[in-house]
Amino acid sequence: MAKHTGKRLPSTPCWTDGAWKETELAGGMGWIIKNAAGEVLGRGAASRSHVSSALMAEALAMREALKKAKELDLQSLQVF
């Protein structure tokens, strides 16, 4: 078994947000990833139909941000 050293990789901050319109079962989402200097590494926004809840809208926003983080080969992400 690998021994844990207690060292952490520096985390890249990522903010996500989702919104839900219950009457239309529609959601909106957005996310942004910045480096330690505050420079934008990636961002996105979208709207979707067939979103069943506010939690689902939040999860979809996070999923899109995680896909971009993987594309950028980020090793450690701190999601807010």
Task: Please choose, from the candidates 11, 13, 7, 21, the residue with its C-alpha nearest in 3D space to the C-alpha of residue 56.
Answer: 21
Q: Are strands 40-49 and 26-34 parallel, antiparallel or unpaired?
A: antiparallel
Instruction: Identify the residue whose tokens are 């990789």.
Output: 9
What is the reported pLDDT for 74? 96
In total, how many domains does the chain have? 1
Non-local CB neighbours of 75 within 8 Å, separated by 6+ positions: 9
Q: What is the pLDDT of residue 10?
A: 83
- Minimum mean pLDDT range among 7-11, 13-17, 22-26, 32-36: 7-11
pLDDT band at 17 (very low <50, low <70, confident <90, very high): very high
For residue 2, pLDDT over 90 is answered with no
- Whole-model pTM? 0.84
Tell me whether residue 57 is in a domain. yes
Return the pLDDT at 8: 73
Q: What is the pLDDT of residue 4?
A: 64
Task: With respect to residue 22, please indicate whether it lies within any of the assigned structural domains.
Answer: yes
H or E, element range at 30: strand 26-34
Q: Does any domain span residue 52?
A: yes
Structure-token pair, residue 11: 């985390």
